[in-house]
Amino acid sequence: MKTISPIAWIRKAALVLALALLGSTPAWAGKYASIVIDLDTHQVMHARDADEERHPASLTKVMTLYLVFDALDAGKLKLSDRLPVSKTASRAQPSKLGLKAGTTIKVEDAIRALVTKSANDVAIVIAEKLGNGSETKFASKMNAKAIELGMTSTNFRNASGLPDKKQITTARDMAKLAEAVYADHRDRYNYFSLSSFTWGKRKYANHNELLRKVQGVDGIKTGFTNASGYNLMASAERSGRRVIAVMMGGTTGRSRDQHVSDLLEAAFLEITGGPTDDDLRARIAFGERAPFSSADNLAMAQLRKLQDDGAVLVSSNDPALVAELEESTDEGDEAFEEVAEGDSETADAADDPIGALIEASPAKTQLAAAPAPAAAPVAATRRAATPIASVQTTLTPQEAILITSEVATGSIPSARSLDQLALPISAQ
């Protein structure tokens, strides 16, 4: 079998990857959901699949922080208190601070670490403190609070959002949680605005890129697991009006951020009665609402695995490999992202004024009528700035096959060139 070094392969692959995974389904297919709420009027301005079950991922930590704020208000915790780190917490999966068993961390540092780094070890430390030594008991408190807040479709199983098939929620329930945090703990809400957190010699930037890019955004949380896709709960205020937007099931962090930004812009335009241009309508219509997802995502996860630890790529049906990829909770490494775009079923315009703006768009009609290039079904609506087109094909070998195609956007590579690019590989 031909081998190439991870560095050489990464250089060759660049941003374009497609993986034919035999007998499998894209991990994020059908996971999109979103909701936008005017916090001042409590009007639901937009909702798509907002009541469908989804996995919260690290949005879970917003409830963990809510209970921390409750404990601070009740005098059960102080910001200066030091929390002990157990062996269980020290062994948490990333993303984490890397806390050592037997050490401690201050409550305020723990809050900052959850908001910015989304540290899973810190979430467990907090859960064990407030759950009398048990994360399971803390999860029961989380569920009791969820019921109190009207989150009737949510079930928490842990404090971090690490993968658990029974940890479910909806976009609507997450919006209720975002509202509650702002209403009940407004004096501590500024924690969600932190741009970074320094621990030891390392400085961690907040995963919520909208804090730095979108006018008025001052919180609240990102989340990602392979089961959930890329999630984002965002809140923004302009001219005294506050809007909350929740999106779940994105295919990349970058496209998720753009979509939520567009939802917020459309919401404020609706509130102020300003005109909405066709570009904005089209971006929302063809943003992160696809009922499908490119297999590129799993290929990128394999690439990260190859890059990080030099692991050999084995059979695509190997359950150990698939299980490890599906347990991924990396929120920060987006160097090899691709954007998959599409449209979902339309909602009733009377209940969805943002959707009504979209449906009235001539740009959407034109885009919807345009046939997708046959050679690039997944990347048909690729951003204009993307210099390389991704091509998906079906392969028969029983080993994982990675395909690279450095082809100009809009061109169609020949079958011969695809054959030359199909390279079974393993790390040296």
Residue bearing tokens 């020949």 = 414
Angle separating helix axes 60-73 and 120-130, nearest 10 degrees: 40
Catalytic residue among 34, 58, 90, 261: 58
Q: Which position among 95, 118, 255, 390 bears the catalytic label?
A: 118
Q: Mapped to the 3 state alphabet, what secondary structure does the chain carry?
A: CCCCCHHHHHHHHCCCCEECCCCCCCCCCCCCEEEEEECCCCEEEEEECCCCCECCHHHHHHHHHHHHHHHHHCCCCCCCCEEECCHHHHCCCCCCCCCCCCCEEEHHHHHHHHHHCCCHHHHHHHHHHHCCCCHHHHHHHHHHHHHHCCCCCCECCCCCCCCCCCCEECHHHHHHHHHHHHHHCHHHHHHHHCCEEEECCEEEECCCCHHHHCCCEEEEEEEEECCCEEEEEEEEEECCEEEEEEEEEECCHHHHHHHHHHHHHHHHHHHHCCCCCHHHHHHHHCCECCCCCCCHHHHHHHHHHHHHHCCCCCECCCHHHHHHHHCCCCCCCCCCCCCCCECCCCCCHHHCHHHHHHHCCHHHHHHHHCCCCCCCCCCCCCCCCCCECCCCCCCCCCECEEECCCCECCCCCCHHHHHHHEEECCCC
275 Cβ partners below 8 Å, 6+ apart?
A: 269
In the set 31, 61, 221, 364, the catalytic residue is: 61
Residue 58 designated active-site: yes
CA–CA distances in Å: residue 198 to residues 2, 104, 204, 355, 364: 44, 16, 6, 41, 45
* Residues annotated as catalytic (active site), given as ranges: 58, 61, 118
